[in-house]
Every structure is written in structure tokens, then in C-alpha cells.
Amino acid sequence: MPMRRVAITGLGAVTPIGCDAPSTWQNALAGRSGVGFIEAFDASAYPVRIAAEVRGFDPGELVPAKEARRMDRNVQLAVAAAQEAWDDAGLELGGVDPARVGILVGSAIGGIATITAQQQVFAERGPDRVSPFFIPSVLVDTASGQIAIQLGLRGQNFAPVSACATGSTAIGEAAASIRRGQADVILAGGTEAPITPLILAGFCAMRGLVAEEEDPTLASRPFDATRAGFVMGEGACILVLEELASARARGATIYAEILGYGASNDAHHLAQPEPEATGVAAMIAAALDAAGVAPERVGYVNAHGTSTPLGDIAETRALKQVFGDHAYRLAVSSTKSVTGHCFGSAGAVEAMMCALALRDGVLPPTINYRNPDPECDLDYVPNEARRVEVDVALSNAMGLGGHNACVLVGRA
């Protein structure tokens, strides 16, 4: 029996540059940064006061206000993105078997805002005042569970966790499940709402963040020689993956096809990439091999590109190892230059960017690229979107703990 093929038929996103997928895409192409001074809380006492926040998002538009208050922000974002993706795919429960529709939506951190709020309640008012909704609202799999409840889906449901590679892991594992015949449709992606006092303090202590006081929109500058660290972001992105033949049969819009998936671990350091990037290179090679795609067919890479000194060099080295001379013909951009680093949702956001780049024949830019780095010497699509037809695109993700995952997508 031939292996089943997997299409992307629905997109949903809530990001620092848009509260839906179309606006996120258009703002990425326009190079509009979502980075600004933190508004969620008073960050004046912190060495870093900027982040890429989701603004203008109202969870009450999807669920009753009382129910929304019982959800951590990461869950609210995920439910919104999932509903958009489901609607975009044109799916209805009457037309699919809900037991054959799965959900793989993960988060790197989970319900941290609710955890810290309830810790304060516990400390100030005692154990009997902790909310009965506390535990169900903070688990990493709460988002996937709530999506199932909201949409009435009864297929496989779990929350992969691989730090900043979570979104890519979810998509890759979901595609593999559809290929094996374990599901016909899966909603896959990631969600994250980490912009809280405690998490900001933790990343400040790690010295991984960039502090850009004069103009926060310039803070995230992947591959630029002056890059100084990443910008915290938040958001959710969900893709509807569907068995290709059935998607065609029902006349679904097909954004792109999932061709391959690769994963590896650096086995080197919890916070720093392995300098020679052998793990990242192995991940990319695995995806190409799984898809049966020659390296020369890849035309675009949406890089992990966090704007950290070590990470951007490691990823550049990995691309050169896998693609050889073709690496210099690749277009490589980092949309984290506009979204910041959305952690567990980043890989899904960037896979969506690849699918739309293939559909529209235009590549999103790496903004704030002004100063070439001799160790990062590829074509990073600097500052302006580029019109070019590409058949195959690669989305890379590299997470704390050495987790690596990538998704290879092809034009529909």
C-alpha cells in the first residue's frame, strides 16, 4: 500500500504581527515589526523591557467571557488559532468522522501566567483559596484538550514538547500519523504566552535577550553582525493537515504539501547550540531523505534565526554542510525579525510562512539586516520581500536542550 500524502488545508494564527493568519502573512511581507515596550506588566525594573506581544486580541469573541477567564492566555490563543484553521479548511463535523480527526498542539512552557498568579494567591491567602480551575488550566496539554472540546474532535490528542522546536515537532509527527493511516485530519501546531514577570526575569538571568531601548523594532536582527540576542514573543499557530487524496476529493484549498520531517538532538548543552551544528545538519538531511528530495530542489529556508550570536552561526554552518555550494543559491530569511521568538509556536508560524511563500511566490524578508557577518554569509533576503517562484521550502527549528526539528514543504 503506498504511503499516504499530506496536504495543508487550513491555517490559523495569532501572533505579534496579526490576530489572524492573513494579517500575520501580510505584515511579515511588509516587514512590520511586532516588537515594542512591554505593556502586559511594569517592566521598568528589568534590564530588558521589550518583547513581541500579541495586541488587540479578544478571547471573548470565541468563547464566553466566564469560560475565557478560566483559560490561561496560551490556551486562549490556541483556541482562537484552531478555530480559524478549522474554518479556513472548510471542515464540518458532518463531513468528517470526529474519531479520525486528531490534535497535536504543544507548548514549551504552558500555563505559566496562571501558575504564578495562583502561587501568589496561595502565598497571600492560603491553600483553600487556590482556584479549582488551577490544575486543568495550566497543563501543557490543556490547549489541545480545549480545542477538542470546542470543535468536538475525538481523534488522537496529545501535546508534544521540544522547547522551541515544539511547533515543528507537532507538524512533523502529525504528518507521520496521517501517512500511517492513524488519522485523516490533524490540527497541528503550537502555542505560547511566556511574557510574564517570572519568565522575563529568567531569560534576563540567562543573558540571552537583547535590550534595545531607543527603537525596539530594531532589536531582532538575525544574521546581522551586530545581533545581540533574541526577543521574547508570544502567539499560537495551528495548521490543518489532511490526507491529500481526500482533500482533493472534497475540493479543499491546498496551501502546500508536507514532503518530509527531520528531527535530532545536539547532545551538547542545554542552552547553547553545538558549534559545528552536526545535529542540525543531520535533522535537515533526514527530512530531505524522508521526502526523497535532492538538496538542489530546495529554494527557500525559513531559518530558526533567533538573532543570537552563536545560534545564527550554527544554523548557517548546518545549511552549508547539507547543501554545499547550493547553500549560496538558497534564499534564507528569519521571520523572527518581525515576530520575535514565539517559543513553542515558532515552528508552526514559520511552517505557515513557508506554505504561503510557496503559494504566493514571494519570500518574507529578514528585517534589520544592515551589517554582514563573515560567518553568516548566505542570502538572507535582507529588508524587503522578494518575488520568486519556489517549489520546495524548509522550515528549521532549534530548541533549548538541543532539540532540533524541521519540516519540508512543497508547492501544491
Catalytically active residues are 164, 304, 341
Task: Tell me the residue type at 224.
Answer: D
Pull the grid cell for residue 282.
543531520
| Residue environment code for 39-49, b if the CB has 16+ CB neighbours within 10 A, otherwise e | ebeebeebebb
Residue 131: how many CB atoms within 10 A of its CB? Answer: 13
- Whether residue 340 contacts residue 159, with contact meaning beta carbons closer than 8 Å, is answered with no
Residue 154 sits at φ, ψ, to 5 deg, of -125, 10
- Whether residue 106 contacts residue 140, with contact meaning beta carbons closer than 8 Å, is answered with yes
The Cα 289–Cα 279 span in angstroms is 15
Q: What angle do the packed helices 309-323 and 278-291 form, to 10 degrees? A: 40
**Residue 148 CA from chain centroid, whole number:** 20
Q: Is 206 strand, coil or helix?
A: helix
Q: Alpha helix locations (H) across 52-96?
A: 65-69, 73-89
Q: Name the residue among 334, 398, 342, 406 with its Cα closest to residue 162.
A: 398
Give CB contacts under 8 A, 24+ apart, made by 174-177: 174/102, 174/104, 174/241, 175/6, 175/241, 175/258, 175/261, 175/407, 176/261, 177/102, 177/104
Q: Which residues have a Cβ under 8 Å from the Cβ of 215 and sit 6 or more positions away?
A: none
